[in-house]
Structure 1
Amino acid sequence: MNEMRPPVVMVFAGHDPCGGAGIQADIETLTSLGCHPCTVITALTAQDTHCVRDFQPVSVTFMVEQARAVLEDVRVDAFKIGMTASVEIIEAIHTLLQDYAGIPVVFDPVMAAGGGGALSKENLIEAFTDLLIPVTTVITPNSLEAKLICSDADSLDACAQQLMALGAGYVLVTGGHDKSPEIINRLWGHRQFLEEYKQKRLPGDFHGTGCTLSSALAGYIAHGASVAGAVREAQAYTAKAIHNSRRLGMGQLIPDRLAWSSKAR
């Protein structure tokens, strides 16, 4: 019996039946990085590599049962929050996190799938700002999400400052949805801009990149990395997964989060 304990990351996210995003992306990423994922399903979705067709939030009571069963048995080293689906689910996650204060939280504030399709039937922004952002260690919005959450901000720097004023420790704004030749991700922390990261934009559209990056970030933090170090490592890991993406359907490419395990690569 191997007595070595891997870092444990609890993930709150939705189920993607095509296996490209959501819980499946989280599991592949965290397992690849030597973590043990404990997954709490927030919603069931009907989606393919093109878009989300429909979704159904799980019962809040049952979601809490999922989380409590694990939290009362296993020591969790980090939380990752993805699709939340409803205000009631956000309220329940907030209550759970209050009971486990001190554990790092990575929050990916998804409101729509990368290929299109809403992931909530209600406006979640107020619940994000009141309940989740104040307990977040690192929030990872793409540039569109940052502007939606901070609708009165006139720049990404203003968005980041507003998110930190709401309580987020660090803000990583990603540029994957922009149209620039390079992907530019930017990190803020301690109420100031910290670093900018650039990488070549590959042709094509990809499914689950935000899930991959935020889960990798949670995984590296669970391993004990600093936030800045975890951000750098998570971006390198995500870039490799994207570089090795595969066309499994007729829509977006799916990153290969286990590319390192193939001798052919």
Structure 2
Amino acid sequence: MTPDPSPSGTTPDTTAEAPAPACVLAFNVNDPTGAGGTGGDVATITAMGAHPLPVVTGVLMRDTAEVFDQHVLEPDAVVEQARSILEDVTTAAFKVGFLGSAEVVGAVAEILSDYPDVPLVAYLPSLAWMGDDEQQAYVDAFRELVLPATEVLVGNHKTLTDFLLPDWDSERPPSARELAVAAAEHGARHVLVTGIMLSAKGPQQFIDNVLASPQGALTGEKFELFETAFVGAGDTLSAALAALLASGADLHAAVGEALSFLDQSLDAGFRPGMGNVVPDRFFWALPPAEDDEGDGGEPTTETAPEEPKNVSRRVH
């Protein structure tokens, strides 16, 4: 009789498990367009090589053109989602998107306070669709409770100006550094400001996207402005940055790579409905375009002109 090589009678597993990718816990609403919200976070974080842990904070009623309304979850439901996965999985970064209500902001902030060493990327979208009182309560809570835990606050120049410097009355717009100083007063270490309008050069208009601290601008990218409206760009940029930080990238390098990823996602964007264009986060997975064939069935020597590099659409 051949002796059992395994004392327990089971077959030993000689295959070592592959190391897990860095995990990013993303708090966000469900966006049925898939452009932003949890769907956008999952697509972006996955495309960046990290693993998403999506925590739903509410449900948007919207299409690719506009937001109509929302359904907010109870804070306890949000907390239970997050605590359940945090007790099981090591999280390397947090991403905060739209949280729905001031009450949920408070609940999420309490969770974040238990993980002060985990980098947080917070994104503030435009909330113009909300009622005035509801919007004010939300931004007040976000400013006082989320910013103290934030490594990088991401947002459009106008949105961040209204949020951080609501009484700004100068004829010139505030600089990224001035926004960073205002954010630092509430505890945020950096701001990543998108959509800063630059002077036109000939017929072309350019925008700047700048990472800044209270000491000044640190890095960024300038892109050509096209009059094409997108939905989900801000969620894409912030989720990409969170995934890169989770994977151990230096902040400066992570910002450059996240902006490049956004640029290419927008360049490959598509219009699934009758509204705005959605970023394609998996542009890199598309097969190369086949050469056009001439009348004789042979590939022609003429090719379409190359798209200019580092050309981006408007970042919202």
TM-score band by shorter chain is over 0.9
> What is residue 30 of structure 1 aligned with on the other side?
45
Cα pair distance change 1:247/1:158, threshold 3 Å? same
Q: What letter corresponds to residue 280 of structure 2 in structure 1?
A: D
Contact in 2 for aligned 1:143/1:178 (Cα 8 Å): no
Q: Which runs of 5+ in 1 are unaligned?
A: none
Residues 1:125 and 2:139 aligned together = yes
Q: What letter corresponds to residue 36 of structure 1 in structure 2?
A: H
Contact in 1 for aligned 2:27/2:98 (Cα 8 Å): yes
State the shift of 1:191 in Å.
Answer: 3.0
> What is residue 268 of structure 2 aligned with on the other side?
244
Cα deviations across residues 19-44 of structure 1 (Å, max 9, x unaligned)?
11111111100000111000011110
User: Runs of at least 4 residues of structure 1 off by over 6 A?
Assistant: 176-180
Aligned pairs for 1:169-180 (under 5 A) are 169-175=189-195
> What is residue 81 of structure 2 aligned with on the other side?
66
Q: What letter corresponds to residue 137 of structure 1 in structure 2?
A: E
Count of matched residue positions in the alignment of Structure 1 and Structure 2? 262
Mapped to 1, the partners of 2:92 and 2:131 lie a distance apart of: 27
Contact in 2 for aligned 1:205/1:252 (Cα 8 Å): yes
Q: What letter corresponds to residue 10 of structure 1 in structure 2?
A: L
Cα deviations across residues 22-75 of structure 1 (Å, max 9, x unaligned)?
111111000001110000111101111110111011111100000000000000
Which secondary structure state, in structure 2, belongs to the residue aligned with residue 96 of structure 1?
Answer: helix
State the shift of 1:186 in Å.
Answer: 1.3
Residues 1:158 and 2:171 aligned together = no
> What is residue 6 of structure 2 aligned with on the other side?
none
Choose from 58, 68, 71 the match for 1:53.
68
Mapped to 2, the partners of 1:137 and 1:36 lie a distance apart of: 20
Mapped to 1, the partners of 2:271 and 2:198 lie a distance apart of: 22
Cα pair distance change 1:264/1:84, threshold 3 Å? same
Contact in 2 for aligned 1:12/1:84 (Cα 8 Å): yes
More helix by share: 1
Which secondary structure state, in structure 1, belongs to the residue aligned with residue 275 of structure 2?
Answer: coil
Structure with larger RCO (C-alpha < 8 A, sep 6+) = 1
TM-score w.r.t. length of structure 1: 0.93
Which secondary structure state, in structure 2, belongs to the residue aligned with residue 74 of structure 1?
Answer: coil
TM-score w.r.t. length of structure 2: 0.78
Q: Which stretch of structure 1 is more off in the superposition, 218-227 or 123-132?
A: 123-132
Which protein is bigger by CA-based radius of gyration? 2
Cα deviations across residues 178-215 of structure 1 (Å, max 9, x unaligned)?
99722211111253222342012234111100000000
Aligned pairs for 1:57-206 (under 5 A) are 57-112=72-127, 117-118=129-130, 121-123=134-136, 124-150=138-164, 151-153=166-168, 154=170, 155-156=174-175, 157-175=177-195, 181-189=205-213, 191-206=215-230
Mapped to 2, the partners of 1:204 and 1:179 lie a distance apart of: 19
Cα deviations across residues 129-180 of structure 1 (Å, max 9, x unaligned)?
2111111000012111211112134513322211022211111111179997
Q: Which runs of 5+ in 2 are unaligned?
A: 1-14, 290-316
Q: Which stretch of structure 1 is more off in the superposition, 239-248 or 255-264?
A: 255-264
